[in-house]
Structure 1
Amino acid sequence: MSRVNRLAGVTAVLLLLAGATGFLSIARFLSGSEEDNSDRAAPIASAADRAITQLQQRLASKPNDLVSLDGLGSAYLQKARESGDPAFYTKAGGLFDKAQAIDPTDQEGITGASRLAAARHDFARALELAQQALRLDPDDPDIQGALGDALVELGRYDEARSAFQRMLDARPDLNAYVRIAYVRELYGDSVGAIEAMKLAVEAVRPGGETAAWVHWQLGNIYFNTNAPDNAAAEYRAALDAFPGYVHAVAGNARLAAARGDYEKAIELYRDVTARQPVVDYVAALGDVYRAAGRDGEAQRQYDLVGAIDSLYRANGIDTDLEMALYMADHDLNRDDALGQARAAYEARPGSIRAADVLSWALYKIGKNDEALNYSREALRLGTQDPMILFHAGMINYKVGDRDAARDYLSRAIQINPSFSILYGEQARTTLEDLQNAVKRQE
């Protein structure tokens, strides 16, 4: 059976599972386990779980109550973040649509719909809805946050930074701090990003999924800046706040892979993908299998990525950017990768992430001069992302600018020597070749 036909078959099975028994069955399928896992400890109910139960009960008696409709929609958005199950986005969308049909000026529902559009990567629609909500209530800091979220993904960074600053000025809280941290990271201020995330840690209520999420985000910044001990401490704090927190387990898996403990990384990623089979984690498990020389098991994970993506698209999520990068990284259908990268860039003109992915897809197909233009655009904010710098280094190497290539590759490795299980060795060997060439010329 060809790889494409095999993938189509897996997709069909997954979509049938989704229709029949939901995300849990998909997780069992992806983990290769059909046994009953009922003897496992039951997951801890989150605040979102409790809110969903209460609001469903309230709507059973008052089906047109706007506060309950908006609240349940927001709870479903939170649950989608916690579980990775895209079906919650569809549920949230139905509630926000109903709320707006009852009252087109329902500002909470419009803001919720903006957040949903952003979660589905429809950032133009997210911006339109945030602006609509802002006209109804110009002083609401949550709307400023939704506005900034859309602007930042559309590459309108100065406007996004202004929106987040207005949010912070109006109400300096957790939601504002995490956004300020993200913007600082985009502008290459890792120290400032860490400071803002520490404020978020101080602001969050101890315990629960939100506290775990904040610690996990801070841990990721530490990992990306080559501070693995600090990252591990934050992942432990996340697990203390919310035992079993899947993203913190994934963080520990990444740390294990970075130090070369592939068996531990595989063990942890298998746990993660059994509970939350999203593309990032399934692909990461495949990458670790490959690094460990277990190519057959790696391929099994890679074969599932397209199937999971189909499920996300079926629930209204635009995954062009993510899938373009995945396909380019794994040398799959480079023409399709380039097409999706171009579509993502057209939808997010000015986005440094979209420019970076497009540059990499162009590099993979040999269009290096065009790749260089988009790579320069991806670097325009001074973002200290080792992967963006690695891409820039390899592209400059191909166009013959060895000095620039050496600079970008050395910076990528200096920021985080463990930045990529796929490309770390290539970065080091290419840099070594460039440095040796300089020595030979002296």
Structure 2
Amino acid sequence: MKSIKPFLVRAMVLVLLILVAACGSPDEKKMAFFEKGKKLLESGDVVTARLEFKNAIQIDPDFAQAYHYLGKAELRSKNPKAAFGALAKAVKLDPENTAARLDLGRLFLAANALDQAEEQMDVILKNAPDHEDAILLKAGIYLKKKDPKAVFALLEKLEGKPDLPPGFYLVKASGLEMEKKDQEVASVLAQGQAAHPKSMVLILARIRYFGKHGNATAMEAELVKALDMVPGDLNLSMNLAWVYLQTGQQEKADTILDQVIAQNPEDQKRVFAVAALRLKANQIDKSAALIKQGMKVHPEIYQYTALLSEIYLKKKQLEQASQVLEDYIALADKAPEPDRVKARINIAKLDIILRRADQAESQVDQVLEIDPKNIDAQYLKGRLALARRDGDEAVSRFRAVTEAHPDHLAAYIGLANAYALGKNYDLALDILKKALKRAPNSAKILKGMVRVNILKKDTQAAEENLKQLVSLDPYNIGSIAGLGDFYLAQNRYDEAMDQYRLIQQNKKGEALGHLKMAEALSRTDQVDLAIEELKAGAEKTKDSSVFITSLGKLYLRQGQKEEAVEKFKEALAMDPDNKLAWLTLAGIYERDLEYEKAIALYRDFLSRHKDAWLAANNMAFLLGKTRTSKADLDEALKYARMALELNPDSGLVLDTLGWVNYKAGDLEQAEKNIAKAIEKLPDNLEIQYHYAQVCHDLGNTKEAAAHLKQALAGKRNFPWRQQAQALYEKFYQ
């Protein structure tokens, strides 16, 4: 008899095993799938684990544990909606499954559904009043509700117990921080670290604490300790490098940042992180060099392009910022389409800053052709509609955003502004109140309510909103200043000064406090005291051109023109970008008829600030007023057109352009531009005279007479009154 070959034996054994497995009960099958899923989940294979749990559920649709672990897998996959469905099902099938209920509570907490989260914890605590995890999670809920007393009442149940988890110390420290008990926060975190010396979450909490309080030495020590536990960790390394950069330890920072890249030079995430940190530290050139190097190798990675655009934006080179984004789009299919869409959105944002509404609209429309539901594009459409005062279109766009993304706070603010544009103030406030329920601590929403209430002329409600802003953070200098400015605008000077004194008490706000106090004193005609206030502020903030400029304005108000001029020059020596100093000094030269000095100043200013429409407008007007050569008038036209491009809706700019057209002999174009200016500013006497002069030279005497009469009606003076009077008396009286 022939022997059976080994491979046939193995095949038969395999078949027998399959048959045995096939004969297993449904319970055995579902448990096999479930246990395998648990092992896969532990090993990190979330996708396959999820399939195993679903296989178990397919066999037994009432298998609560499988739903629980499926929920865990969905959470790991960052799919909260599916996780919620699975966890809710697990709890429904097995109300005694405390672990599933805890996970469901955590999910509710993460989604800010605080009442639902508390409801889950109450069920657990009803049956197990000392359940540690449930107590800590409920305390976390009260933290989010900003109720520290309730937090401490819950934690008292755990005080004194052995082996308290790190979460206990974190929650307690957070509650104490809410009550501004900084020393106790430090003590609790120290206790936690003593109990759990290797707890990374506690180490990170201490790092955040020391960072908040500016204790760089302690922060450095904690980061070094953390890196000993997790050598080479990217986030910890970057944070330590940032501490070194902040404390002037440049060599140490460079060593760490070089090591970060050296660990894996091909890892674009590392290169990008170092470049971003150097940009944050204002090491712009070093950051740009890293980015450009990365772009040569991987031009298709959008993060590089976005950061290089940001670098140009930081350097105020907006055109270059836009161009690198255009270059990325030009890669076409070599770059992912979603990233090209992002580039178009960012170009549109830059176009809005550059007042190129048509180009911004074109970019946004192209995005919507590719992705009609793109939220960023819809939002920008709303902003563009607001800018052209198309309230209906703006409402439609912002509403589409809020319906698709109920947490898009900026869209709620835009929607409220759109309603306010149509004077639907109550509806605007309803929208903002709805948004405030979603984000009770949003300063932006409260500021929006202030604006709408002021438009509504409800100063009492506006004041309440401003007080709410201060209550959100009683140490916030901007909020205190905002309330002070409101009182100042209401001529409630004593209350305004009380707020400004509060700012002065804060070391960070001391300078602003002096500046604001000087403004209030100036408004009450206490100019000498205002000057003393500014001098005190300037002494405490060396090299501050803002204080010097403000001093110059007060000297000018007192008629001390020479002293004022010297202050403006001093301010410009400190800060050549101080626009107010440039423009005020040029204005002084104009008023003194020192036109050549004013022209020289405007020309220098415009070489630095090509986006200043007022300077371009004034430059064009002065050239048109004082020069007659074709070259000079061509230059005047260039500046007038620049001003119009920067501010196309300005009646003043249209008048300037029209007047330069007139001086250059182009009467028809002059008449068109000045007519548009009158539509925008019908009460401006100077524009009325300009239009009359152009009509007179065109032989349109009826129009000339009518507009001269409007210019000369009443006794209001304006720079061209003598010329208007002479023209009227000679031809039209």
- TM-score, normalised relative to structure 1: 0.54
Alignment-derived partner of residue 17 in structure 1: none
Do the aligned partners of 2:177 and 2:185 also contact (CA within 8 Å) in 1? yes
The structural deviation recorded for 1:114 is 1.4
- Partners of 2:438 and 2:151 lie apart in 1 by 15
For residues 170-199 of structure 1, the C-alpha deviation after alignment (integer angstroms, 9 at most, x for no partner) is 333022112212322333322112332443
CA distance in 2, matches of 1:287, 1:400: 43
The residue type equivalent to 1:140 in the other structure is N
Alignment CA distance shift 1:152-1:253 (3 Å)? closer
Structure 2 residue aligned with 1:253: 207
* 2:222 alignment counterpart: 268
Quick check: 1:438 aligned with 2:411? no
Deviations 1:98-129 (A, max 9, x none): 24424544432321221343354422111110
SS of the residue corresponding to residue 268 of structure 1 reads helix
Q: CA deviation at 1:135?
A: 3.7
- Which residue matches 2:132? 174
User: In 2, Cα distance between the equivalents of 1:406 and 1:435?
Assistant: 9
Structure 1 counterpart of 2:487, one-letter code: V
Q: Tell me the equivalent position of 1:111.
A: 68
1:287-298 alignment, distance < 5 Å = none
Out of 153-162 and 172-181, give the one that drifted further: 153-162
Per-residue Cα deviation, 1:234-271 (whole angstroms, up to 9, x for no partner): 22232223213222122222222222223543553566
What CA deviation, in whole Å up to 9, does each residue of 1:304-327 have, x standing for no partner? 8xxxxxxxxxxxxxxxxxxxxxx9
Letter in 1 for 2:477: R
Deviations 1:61-96 (A, max 9, x none): xxx75775566567x4xxxxxxxxxxx7x4355435
Correspondent of 1:359 among 409, 416, 419: 409
Other-structure match for 1:150? 107
Partner of 2:276: 303
2-structure distance, mates of 1:372, 1:287: 42
Identity %: 12
Q: Give the direction of change, closer, same or farther, for the CA distance of 1:186–1:432 in structure 2 (3 Å limit).
A: same
Give the aligned residue type for 1:359: L
**SS of corresponding position for 1:130:** helix
In the TM superposition, 1:339-358 aligns within 5 A as 339=376, 355=407, 358=408
1:163 shift after superposition:
2.3
Tell me the amino acid that sits aligned with residue 110 of structure 1: Y
Within a 5 Å distance, the mapping from 1:183-194 to structure 2 comes to: 183-194=141-152
User: What is the aligned partner in structure 1 of residue 478 from structure 2?
Assistant: 429
SS at 1:226 equivalent: coil
Larger radius of gyration: 2
| Partner amino acid, structure 2, of 1:167 | I
Query: In 1, distance between residues paired with 2:90 and 2:488?
Result: 61
Aligned pair in 2 of structure 1 residues 429, 435: CA closer, same or farther (>3 Å)? Answer: same
Counterpart amino acid of residue 432 in structure 1: A
Aligned to 1:239: 193
CA distance in 1, matches of 2:471, 2:69: 40
Q: Does 1:206 align with 2:163?
A: yes
Compared CA separation, residues 72 and 138, structure 1 to 2 (3 A): same
- Given that 1:262 and 1:292 are in contact with CA atoms closer than 8 Å, whether structure 2 keeps it comes out as yes
Q: Structure 1's 72 and 253: CA in aligned 2 closer, same or farther, altered over 3 A? A: same
Q: Aligned partners of 1:280 and 1:71: how far apart in 2?
A: 30
1:226 deviates by: 1.8
Alignment deviations for residues 310-347 of structure 1 (CA, whole Å, 9 cap, x no partner): xxxxxxxxxxxxxxxxx9xx999896897499999879
Which is further off, 107-116 or 264-273?
264-273
Instruction: Report what 1:408 is aligned to.
Output: 468
* Equivalent in the alignment of 2:16: none
Summarize the Cα distance change of 1:272–1:202 in structure 2 as closer, same or farther, 3 Å threshold: same
Amino acid at match of 2:470: S
| Cα pair distance change 1:392/1:221, threshold 3 Å | farther
Structure 2 equivalent of residue 128 of structure 1:
85
Task: Using the TM superposition, give the Cα deviation of residue 394 of structure 1 relative to its aligned residue in structure 2, in angstroms.
Answer: 4.7
Q: Which runs of 5+ in 2 are unaligned?
A: 1-30, 258-271, 278-309, 315-320, 322-341, 350-374, 380-399, 419-427, 455-461, 493-733
Question: Cα deviation per residue 1:363-391 (whole Å; 9 max; x = unaligned)?
Answer: 7xx777489877644643896xxxx3444
Instruction: State the AA in 2 paired with 1:410.
Output: V
State whether residues 37 and 52 of structure 2, in contact with CA within 8 Å, keep that contact through their aligned partners in structure 1.
Answer: no
Instruction: Return the letter of the residue paired with 1:406.
Output: L
| Separation of aligned partners in 2, 1:160 and 1:129 | 16
Cα 1:229–1:239 change in 2 (3 A) is same
Seen in structure 2, the aligned counterparts of structure 1 residues 234 and 271 have a Cα distance that, compared at 3 Å, is same
Q: Distance in 2 between matches of 1:231 and 1:146?
A: 28
> Letter of the aligned partner of 1:195 in structure 2?
A
Where do 5+ consecutive residues of structure 1 fail to align? 1-63, 77-87, 305-326, 350-354, 418-426
Residue equivalent to 2:154: 196
Question: CA–CA distance in 2 between the matches of 1:130 and 1:289?
Answer: 45
Q: Is the 8 A contact 1:269 1:285 kept in 2?
A: yes
In structure 2, do the counterparts of structure 1 residues 376 and 437 end up closer, same or farther at CA, with 3 Å as the change threshold?
A: closer
Q: Retained in 2: the 8 A contact 1:149–1:160?
A: yes
Give the aligned length: 315
Letter in 2 for 1:189: D
Do the aligned partners of 1:153 and 1:348 also contact (CA within 8 Å) in 2? no
Q: Deviations along 1:202-230, whole A, 9 cap, x unmatched?
A: 66x606xxx12332232233224322222
Instruction: Decide which of 154, 170, 177 is 1:216's aligned counterpart.
Output: 170
Contact 1:96 / 1:109 at 8 angstroms: preserved in 2?
no
CA 117–399 in structure 1, closer or farther in 2 if over 3 Å, else same? farther
Cα offsets for 1:135-190 (capped at 9, x unmatched): 43133233333333334444544433322221221333022112212322333322
Alpha-carbon distance in structure 2 between the residues aligned to 1:108 and 1:267 = 44
Structure 2 counterpart of 1:41: none
* Higher RCO by CA contacts (8 Å cutoff, separation 6 or greater): 1
Measured in 2, the distance between the counterparts of 1:149 and 1:348 equals 22
Instruction: Report the 3-state secondary structure (helix = DSSP H, G, I; strand = E; otherwise coil) of the residue aligned with 2:157.
Output: helix
- 2:122 pairs with one of 141, 149, 165: 165
Cα distance change on mapping 1:360 and 1:196 into 2, 3 Å: farther
TM-score (norm 2): 0.35
Q: Report what 1:98 is aligned to.
A: 52
Aligned letter for 1:413?
A: D
Looking at structure 1, the residues matched to 485 and 248 of structure 2 have their Cα atoms a distance apart, in angstroms, of 30
The answer as to whether partners of 1:197 and 1:214 remain within 8 angstroms in 2 is yes
Instruction: Decide whether the 8 Å contact of 2:467 with 2:483 is kept in 1.
Output: no
